[in-house]
Amino acid sequence: MQRAILATTALTAALLTARFGITNADDNQQPADPQSPHTIDAGKFDSLQAAIDALPAAGGVVRIPPGTYEINQPLRITGEDILIQGAGSATHIRNVNTGGASTIELLPTGVTDRANPGQRTNRNRWRIQLADLRITGNEQCGHGIDALWVNEIFLHGVTVSEHGGDGIRLDHCYEDPRINDCLVTYNKGVGVNLLGCHDIVVSASHFEENGDALHCIDGFNLCMTGNNLDDHLARGVVIENTYGSVVSGNMIEECQGTAVVLDRDCYGITLSANVIAHNGGGIELLDAHGCAVSANTFTIIAEKALYIGPGSGRITVTGNNFSNSYIGDGQVKRGTDDMAAAGVTLEGTSDVAISGNVFSGLTADALILPDPPSSRIVLTGNLFTDVAADLESFEDSVVADNLTAQ
């Protein structure tokens, strides 16, 4: 068995050398050639920070063996072209700081106070990857992973849990940030907080019981696909001042607040093929234009499954299903105290096309039209089953070819 391990290690080293020019540092000293990236075995150092600091300016790999590593100060990564890799959840970095310090900080050299305007000079670094780690904190510590000005940051196979701040905070990690196959759970702040990022991918990750699940603020081109969001203490996905994005194929369940919120000058965003189930609210378009809401399933959303407010317009609502827990033969799956199901609320909006949707078994009117009135609404080809639907209250609108059935 030992020979197999050694052989595998040798093969890995050979592949790294052949593909990336990465060689191994065999002891606790700095690599001989600072111009060449190296692989560092963190198990040979007195601390994880010492292992990270041993990387040359050219970058390299820090491999952290299995074990629990308690820290009371942030691990700081200031270089670039760096991979920090553990052995899956067996590599556990535990933040015991109770003074608001984060667990891992990816900050440029010299930035000690990011709130100081004199230090907020853009010092972009490139290509830092964290993989196969478990990172935990406590209610009195800061963020889990706090990154500032890192282009092409890549987080993969990382668990980030139980921090007093955000789980993952990417602050102006502008170019191509990626978060894939991660588990982000029980953080008091936002699970993933994306501030001023661009061309973002968040995919195949699980979010459980954070404050809000994900924020994308002042960004561009979010691609959020195939994630599972469950049991959040507030909202699910909050997008502000962002355009050209897609939120699709996600399961968003039992957030105490609204599942998806678009606010503050959002435009050109598609919300499609998501299951939005049993949340405090469904989708709220507070300040959004030129957006599509399509092929989503809104199941037992008690209030405002879809809300389009006076700050929003030019919206397409197509092919969605608004439903209770009906399972056929006159039966509903949920008990009588869990029957509430809502439809679409239009408040002071305009230029909205609502077509090809199914509204069934709702406990409120399928369409709620509070003041101020909405205008230029096209309501065609929808099916209303076992639900009240007032189709006569639209002004300056087209209402045609809808079917109402009991």
In the chain, pLDDT over 70 holds for what percent of residues?
89
- CA–CA gap between residue 195 and residue 239 (Å, rounded): 10
pLDDT beyond 50 at 1: no
252 and 305 in a single domain? The answer is yes
Position 290 scores a pLDDT of 98
Greater pLDDT, 361 or 30: 361
- Torsion 342-401-311-216 (CA) sign: positive
Give the number of domains in the chain.
2
- CA–CA gap between residue 148 and residue 106 (Å, rounded): 6
163 and 308 in a single domain? The answer is yes
pLDDT beyond 70 at 191: yes
Q: Is residue 115 part of a domain?
A: no
332, 325 Cβ separation under 8 angstroms: yes
310, 348 Cβ separation under 8 angstroms: yes
pLDDT beyond 60 at 174: yes
317 and 353 in a single domain? The answer is yes
| Segment 383-395 mean pLDDT | 91
Position 180 scores a pLDDT of 98
Domain edge (last residue) among 46, 63, 80: 63
Position 8 scores a pLDDT of 35
- CA–CA gap between residue 62 and residue 65 (Å, rounded): 10
245 and 201 in a single domain? The answer is yes
**7-11, 113-117, 192-196 — most confident range:** 192-196
Task: Write the CA distances from 363 to 84, 315, 394, integer angstroms.
Answer: 52, 25, 21
pLDDT beyond 50 at 12: no
- Residues 99-155 have pLDDT tens digits of 999 999 999 887 766 655 455 556 789 999 999 999 999 999 999 999 999 999 999
Q: Is residue 312 part of a domain?
A: yes
310, 288 Cβ separation under 8 angstroms: no
77 and 50 in a single domain? The answer is no
21 and 134 in a single domain? The answer is no
pLDDT beyond 90 at 349: yes
Position 399 scores a pLDDT of 95
- Residues 64-76 have pLDDT tens digits of 999 999 999 999 9
Q: Give me the CATH number covering residue 357.
A: 2.160.20.10
- Residues 258-280 have pLDDT tens digits of 999 999 999 999 999 999 999 99
93 and 200 in a single domain? The answer is yes
**Cβ-defined contacts of 21-28 (< 8 Å, 24+):** 22/60, 22/61, 25/54, 28/54
| Segment 230-234 mean pLDDT | 97
193 and 220 in a single domain? The answer is yes
Position 120 scores a pLDDT of 55
Return the bridge partners of 277, or none: 253, 299
| Segment 179-195 mean pLDDT | 98
Q: Place 338 in a pLDDT band, splitting at 50, 70 and 90.
A: confident
87 and 1 in a single domain? The answer is no
Q: Is residue 117 part of a domain?
A: no
Greater pLDDT, 163 or 14: 163
6 and 44 in a single domain? The answer is yes
Position 21 scores a pLDDT of 41
Q: Is residue 116 part of a domain?
A: no
- Residues 43-102 have pLDDT tens digits of 999 999 999 999 999 999 999 999 999 999 999 999 999 999 999 999 999 999 999 999
Mean pLDDT for all residues in the chain: 90
Domain encompassing residue 353: 67-110+122-405
